[in-house]
Amino acid sequence: MEASPVAGALVDPGVGAAETRAARFVRRETALRRLPRQALWGAATEAARVTEFYRDYLAVAVLMVAAVGMVVFMLGVGRLIRPSRAQGEKYIPYEAGSDPTGMFGQSNVRYYVFAILFVIFDVEAVFIFPWAVNVEEFAWFGFVEMTVFVSILTLGLVYAWRKGVLRWV
């Protein structure tokens, strides 16, 4: 064996200088790099990708099964250890802190008005928050729009206050 022009490779005397081991290796690696990945490993790469895809969903499925299992377990344990004595007071309807009457009784409108006012001002907060986050983007146009919006809601609040709707009697 004698030294080859390729760094550190040995030339086999039976093969020409062009066919050194290093030259064959470089040629083979260059050809392999030009092939697409699927041609090199075939279905194994696709199967590995699919397996990884399902592995991600398997974790979600395991957590869902664990969550459902915990709920069923807790409800089952609760059913086993709770007292099961029938009491007549348990079965009467609860009407906002007042004793129920025997016949159908009309609820006071004040409860519904308070609920509607709460929803109105809750929605106001939902609209004001995104505006406050992006106030610089909207500039003066956004400021004027929000001023009009808050003014209309303030007028509604003043109207409800003057009508005595906010008084809890």
Residues 166 and 129 in one domain: yes
* Structure-token pair, residue 165: 């709707």
**pLDDT of 5 higher than 60:** no
Percent of the chain whose pLDDT exceeds 70: 68
Residues 73 and 129 in one domain: no
Mean pLDDT of the chain: 76
Report yes or no on 49 lying in a domain.
yes
In this structure, what CATH number is given to the domain that contains residue 139?
1.20.58.1610
Domain count for the chain: 3
Residues 18 and 42 in one domain: no
Please give the residue range of the domain that contains residue 7: 2-34
Number of other CB atoms surrounding residue 11 within 10 Å: 20
Query: How far apart, in Å, are the Cα atoms of 104 and each of 11, 97, 101, 113, 114?
Result: 107, 16, 7, 21, 22
Residues 112 and 131 in one domain: yes
State whether residue 127 is helix, strand or coil: helix
pLDDT, tens digit, 9 for 90 and up, residues 62-105: 999 999 999 999 999 999 998 887 777 777 776 666 666 666 66
CA–CA distance, 54 with 130 (Å, rounded to integer): 38
Q: Name residue 19's amino acid.
A: E
Residues 13 and 25 in one domain: yes
CA–CA distance, 124 with 128 (Å, rounded to integer): 6
Residues 72 and 57 in one domain: yes
Q: What is the DSSP string of 49-67?
A: HHHHHHHHHHHHHHHHHHH
Report yes or no on 92 lying in a domain.
no
Residues 138 and 169 in one domain: yes
Report yes or no on 143 lying in a domain.
yes
Report yes or no on 127 lying in a domain.
yes
Report yes or no on 62 lying in a domain.
yes
**pLDDT of 59 higher than 60:** yes
